[in-house]
A and B are shown apart, each in its own frame.
Chain A
Amino acid sequence: MKELVVISGKGGTGKTSIVASLAWLAEKVVLADCDVDAADLHLVLTPEIIRRESFSGGKRARIKAGHCTACGKCEELCRFDAIFFDGPGNGRQDRTFRVDPIACEGCGVCAWFCAENAIEFAPAVNGEWFISRTRCGPMVHARLGIAEENSGKLVSTVRTEARRLAEQRGLELVLIDGSPGIGCPVIASITGASLVLIVTEPTLSGLHDLERVAALTRHFEIPAMVCVNKWDLNAETAAKIEDYARQRGLASAGRVRYDRAVTQAQIERKSVVEQGTSPCAEDIRAVWNAVRTAIETSA
């Protein structure tokens, strides 16, 4: 079983639209949406949820106002500016301390050192993950709660479940939609993968972000290919990006031209290759052929 992860560095380069098309073209595939804090793949693949699980990535502190003596130890020790002296009064104290659940990192230091045992420290629900049925195959996806932490752990959960599903059903490929950037969720989505496909765009920002994301795949020693999406918006920069990729030993997966059919397909909740023949759909088929060949020969 192989894992192909599609990432981009820069956001909005067309990563998810390309994943939706690859999902349609690939056979024997499990889909995994690892862009857990702005997941969009389900908007095209319209999954039917068959299993739903809550996700807890860590714990969170809560001060029981009735027990608080307002000594201020928690506020003194908290390194995350998560404790405020604006909690409700309790008969002995006019006001008590309160944990801001958004700022709380779940370290538990306040609870450990509270002399009154007034701080509850219990697992927090940070999101949900799902196993679904789609027209392209089974899909594992998730929703991180608003303003929640631990997106990396949720990404790892989605990947593990997707791999398990592939093994159970004898499917050969896990196709992963990653998130933008180079931080925690991206690292969690690429480590140990068979191949990374980097989708970029022909802008200076696209090139700059490609440099950083390519350094990341090199850092973790994962083979990577580059696809320049919307290449005809700036042919010169597209060529520059391909040169850069070549110098860095990244294989080219081809170019995809700019086509408003992509947005139209999104509005119709289809991938662009499903929608029919368009020049851009042909480009994506060629990208898939290049990627498939690379993945078949990958370790």
Chain B
Amino acid sequence: MAGRTLYDKIWESHTVGILPTGQTQLFIGLHLIHEITTAPAFDMLREHGMDVAFPERTFATVDHIVPTHVRTRPFLDSEAEELHQALERNVAQFGIEFFHLGHEHQGIVHVIGPQLGLTQPGMTLACGDSHTSTHGAFGTLAFGIGTSQVRDVLATQTLAIDKLKVRRISVNGVLGTGVYAKDVILSIIRRLGISGGKGFAYEYGGAVLDNMNMEERMTVCNMSIEGGALVGYVNPDQTTFDYLKGRPYVPTGDALDRAIAYWKSVASDPDAQYDDVVSFEGKEIEPTVTWGINPGQAVCISEKLPKAEEYSDPEGARRAYEHMGWHPGAPILGTPINVAFIGSCTNSRITDLRAAAKIAKGRKVKPGIRALVVPGSAEVKKLAEQEGLHEIFKDAGFEWRDAGCSMCLGMNPDKLIGREISASSSNRNFIGRQGSPEGRTLLMSPAMVAAAALNGKVVDVREYH
């Protein structure tokens, strides 16, 4: 019998049965919720008199709407306040653990799951957020879902879902200096396309992934959905186990030994069969920046902006040029920016902040540039402050904020204004994404954002190494 992938193994052990529709009823080991996509789901439960089937398997936090500057309650934004109160009521009524604002574990949902050791290999996980694929870094099958599916998970701890195919993406060799996990995933999306992953789970591997730490793997898996893949994962290994040991929700003693044995057993077999195989060479990946209105419209820092006709959808590229206001043939290097944002579920972890601080240390943000550093969780903030990173950022002229989604998505006070151009370590450059319908976003690694902040324009971070 041919070897099986991690995807096959976890799918099989979590299958409850096949529904009359032909879909699989899949057990969800861990459910993470936040304030935005859950209120109607709880309303639906109440409407039909249903309880939460496994309340101990759901954990809640607040991240999307929370201000990162002034945190006093009630929030100035009455809608944000109302949403927060709705979540407080819902978790109290249904008996769900809640990492509320001010709690030591509060933070972006995809930062705190791994940080607490809630996210573990060999598990299925769901969250009403498309970047749930982040948790795949642990060898977890993690699904981003909608509100009606959140209701299903609350009511049954299962989803009605179809099985995906698996595409193995190997990144071989080593990365050059100044090239980060963000550049790896932007390169993958650029080549395979923003809908190229439809119908697939992405299994990332190869020497580059093997050598990455857990936070780098999370950055890669985080943006799977930007490539159209609902699920992305990395096989668990010693790096995974070392990261998890000692975290609050990870077993200890003999139980940890049993856990590690289980975690090892779910990794893809060496002779696993894949539906598709793609490979990349690490040495060919350069610092990468998006120039357009979707994450696939990206170039290496040394490249000029491509002609619209070079894309499979020239009309889409023309629309991007129209929105961004620049022209094919221009270099991306030297593009002026107004705002620098370091944060989001893609790049707000301690290693991201360390990489950015290394660039910012002893230097100054260009006058007139609004620069923000937003740690992904209260704990990341605390850790960064213990290391003195906040002083480095503040001395350089960055604002040092509290944990939340911040300027990734225009749902809290951190927003672009008018036609501002943002160098951003987040995940989406869609029109209007950062809160201004006319705003413009250039996605890049946190180190590249820091370098852009210092120069007021896009520069090659390798000059700082």
Chain A bound to chain B: no
| Residues in chain A within 8 A of chain B (CB atoms) | none
